[in-house]
């Protein structure tokens, strides 16, 4: 793939300070929704009958005790004083967070409200936010405390807490946790939960099968970084792996929940390897991230693999406000495309995934107005079968100008790197393949002789 042949690929640095979150309006997102006039307002909406069901569906996953939303939106007493702010956040399309261009693709995890729902809440807020009759309320939405998934069958936690200093950059921190599985397990749903959420910029949980040599000399059950490795191979291994990814976490990202008949696989005897990128916030603390797993009832027909398009060979010139970096590669075998997870750092501006057709045309699959503080996954409403040889493209645009409020240094030329003042273009995407194919097998090309220069990467 041309520009990427020499990429030293590392996983992404994700990101942060939700308190300073700003959300930029996407093109096409800025339509204003008219306040309903008395003429077509049938009856004044009430909290219990009309508003609460919408909050349950669209807001409470984040706006309840213990979750990332700063205010709970569960009871009338909580929501009534905020009625205006709630209505405004919807009218401005700031909430719920979602950054895909609505003109491209349909996504099953799109939390956006319909114009009708926005109008109901606007009309309610504009009519002094009446409670209505509590008997009209839907039953409370049952949440599992501490999770946004059904009760996990198994929780795997890092064995030892990681100490995070008050200041400075923290090297990527790893912890290897044995599963002790005596048979392979299929994971249908999973969620990563840090214990110190504000310090976790990203977490990636990898599956290390027993026959893998990745980080083989590294200690098990204790945190370590590349600097702790005395073995040259292990040090190298902290920057590159072919291991399959179980799940990626970043602030605002959602749990994995695969369609029926599909799941991720953890072979018997595997370890889970936590890769953590911590940030510091002025006081020392600890984190002991865990992952909750819900197993599939039966072996599925298809296995889900997380792949990526990565290009580490770029220099973003100082001051440039729309610098484009591209990567493309062809799929080695047939696969069904399921979802995307674009990743950049503080200068990230836009991200696109396309299929490049043989006639030279580009078919857009996803366009994201990138927001560093909200790294979301985007799941196709309809999984898309892709024949072997299909060329997928990821394009990232960076804003290294002084007009980018997140830009740590508009005078710097910016290269690929782990820390958030460096940059990345990583286009993660998930595919389903036959259940008996693993990641290594998937990358064996039937016609490898003719086609080894363009490939979707089997490493990160
Ligand atoms: C994915 C998680 C998530 C979802 C879903 C979500 N929010 Fe939020 N919300 C946040 C976070 C985090 C913040 C704080 C950062 C910010 O202000 O953007 C926030 C902030 C807000 C604020 C501003 C609070 C303030 O301090 O003024 C309002 C109002 C709000 N959300 C309403 C909603 C409503 C209404 C919904 C559902 C329609 C919703 N949110 C869905 C995470 C979420």
Cα 95 to ligand 1 centroid, rounded to whole Å: 6
pLDDT digits 0-9 by tens, 365-407: 999 999 888 889 999 999 999 999 999 999 999 999 999 999 9
Does 80 reside within a domain? Answer: yes
pLDDT exceeds 70 at position 265: yes
Beta bridge partners of 138: none
pLDDT band with cut points at 50, 70 and 90 for residue 309 = very high
Cα 61 to ligand 1 centroid, rounded to whole Å: 10
Half-sphere exposure of 119 (CA within 13 A, CB side): 14
The residue whose two tokens read 């319909």 is 114
pLDDT exceeds 60 at position 32: no
Mean pLDDT of the region 230-244: 84
Q: Tell me how crowded residue 343 is: count the other CB atoms within 10 A of its CB.
A: 26
Beta bridge partners of 224: 174
Does 33 reside within a domain? Answer: yes
Q: How far apart are CA 337 and CA 355, in angstroms?
A: 11
Contact yes or no for 407/347 (Cβ under 8 A): yes
**79: preceding bond cis by omega (within 30 degrees):** no
Task: Kindly provide the residue ranges of all beta strands, DSSP E only, lying in 209-322, ordered along the sequence.
Answer: 244-249, 256-257, 262-266, 271-278, 285-287, 290-295, 302-310
Q: How far apart are CA 132 and CA 78, in angstroms?
A: 15
Query: What confidence score (pLDDT) does residue 43 get?
Result: 85
pLDDT band with cut points at 50, 70 and 90 for residue 224 = very high
Q: Which domain holds residue 64?
A: 27-136
pLDDT band with cut points at 50, 70 and 90 for residue 454 = very low
From the alpha carbon of 59, which atom of ligand 1 is closest?
37
Does 87 reside within a domain? Answer: yes
The percent of residues above 70 in pLDDT, for the chain, comes to 88
Query: What confidence score (pLDDT) does residue 312 get?
Result: 93
pLDDT exceeds 80 at position 426: yes
pLDDT exceeds 90 at position 211: yes
pLDDT exceeds 80 at position 16: no
Instruction: Report the pocket of ligand 1 as residue ranges, CB < 6 Å.
Output: 18, 21, 58-59, 61-63, 68-71, 73, 82, 85-86, 89-90, 95-97, 111, 113, 252
How many domains does the chain fold into? 1
Does 58 reside within a domain? Answer: yes
pLDDT exceeds 90 at position 277: yes
Does 223 reside within a domain? Answer: no
pLDDT exceeds 50 at position 20: no
Does 89 reside within a domain? Answer: yes
Query: What confidence score (pLDDT) does residue 29 get?
Result: 32
pLDDT band with cut points at 50, 70 and 90 for residue 39 = very low
Closest residue by Cα to residue 20 from 373, 423, 444: 373
Cα 73 to ligand 1 centroid, rounded to whole Å: 9
Mean pLDDT of the region 321-339: 97
pLDDT exceeds 90 at position 203: yes
Contact yes or no for 268/181 (Cβ under 8 A): yes
Q: How far apart are CA 199 and CA 173, in angstroms?
A: 12
Least confident of 36-50, 253-267, 354-368: 36-50
pLDDT exceeds 50 at position 18: no
The residue whose two tokens read 């030293």 is 8
Query: What confidence score (pLDDT) does residue 242 get?
Result: 85
Contact yes or no for 138/53 (Cβ under 8 A): yes
The answer to whether the predicted template modeling score (pTM) of the entire model surpasses 0.95 is no
Cα 190 to ligand 1 centroid, rounded to whole Å: 23
Closest residue by Cα to residue 236 from 214, 206, 210, 211: 214
Does 59 reside within a domain? Answer: yes
Two tokens at 126?
């504009």
pLDDT band with cut points at 50, 70 and 90 for residue 313 = very high
Write down the mean pLDDT value for the chain. Answer: 87
The residue to mutate among 63, 81, 90, having the most atoms of ligand 1 within 8 angstroms of its beta carbon, is 63
CA angle 184, 207, 384 (to 5 degrees): 85
pLDDT exceeds 80 at position 22: no
Helix (H) or strand (E) holding 316: none
Closest residue by Cα to residue 79 from 111, 54, 116, 104: 54
Does 45 reside within a domain? Answer: yes
């Amino acid at each position: 793939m041309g520009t990427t042949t020499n990429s030293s690929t590392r996983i992404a640095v994700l990101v942060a300070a939700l308190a300073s979150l700003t959300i930029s309006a996407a093109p096409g997102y800025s339509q204003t929704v008219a306040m309903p006039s008395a003429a077509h307002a049938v009856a004044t909406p009430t909290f219990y009958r009309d508003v609460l069901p919408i909050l349950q569906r669209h807001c409470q996953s984040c706006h309840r005790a213990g979750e990332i939303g700063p205010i709970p939106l569960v009871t009338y007493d909580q929501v009534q004083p905020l009625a205006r702010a709630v209505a405004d956040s919807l009218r401005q399309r700031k909430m719920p967070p979602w950054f895909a261009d609505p003109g491209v693709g349909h996504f099953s995890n799109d939390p956006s409200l319909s114009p009708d729902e926005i109008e109901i809440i606007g009309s309610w807020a504009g009519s002094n936010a009446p409670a209505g009759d509590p008997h009209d309320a839907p039953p409370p939405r049952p949440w599992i405390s501490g999770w946004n998934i059904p009760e996990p069958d198994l929780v795997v936690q890092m064995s030892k807490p990681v100490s995070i200093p008050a200041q400075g950059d923290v090297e990527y921190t790893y912890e290897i946790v044995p599963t002790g599985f005596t048979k392979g397990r299929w994971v249908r749903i999973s969620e990563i939960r840090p214990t110190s959420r504000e310090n976790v910029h990203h977490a990636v949980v990898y599956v290390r099968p027993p026959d893998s040599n990745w980080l083989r000399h590294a200690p098990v059950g204790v945190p370590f970084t590349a600097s702790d490795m005395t073995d040259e191979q292990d040090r190298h291994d902290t920057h590159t792996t072919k291991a399959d990814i179980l799940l990626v976490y970043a602030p605002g990202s959602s749990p994995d929940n695969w369609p029926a008949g599909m799941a991720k696989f953890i072979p018997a005897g595997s370890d889970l390897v936590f890769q953590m990128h911590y940030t510091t916030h002025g006081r020392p603390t600890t984190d002991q991230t865990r992952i909750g797993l819900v197993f599939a009832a039966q072996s599925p027909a298809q296995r889900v693999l997380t792949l990526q398009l990565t290009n580490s060979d770029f220099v973003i010139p100082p001051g440039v406000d729309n610098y484009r970096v591209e990567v493309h590669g062809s799929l080695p075998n047939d696969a069904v495309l399921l979802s995307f997870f674009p990743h950049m750092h503080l200068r990230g501006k836009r991200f696109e995934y396309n299929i490049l057709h043989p006639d030279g045309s580009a078919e857009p699959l996803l366009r994201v107005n990138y927001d560093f503080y909200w790294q979301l996954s985007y799941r196709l409403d309809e999984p898309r079968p892709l024949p072997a040889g299909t060329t997928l493209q990821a394009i990232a645009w960076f804003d290294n100008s002084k007009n980018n409020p997140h830009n740590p240094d508009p005078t710097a030329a910016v290269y690929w790197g782990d820390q958030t003042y460096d940059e990345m273009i990583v286009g993660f995407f998930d595919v389903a393949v036959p259940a008996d194919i693993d990641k290594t097998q998937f990358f064996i090309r039937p016609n490898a002789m003719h086609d080894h220069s363009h490939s979707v990467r089997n490493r990160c």
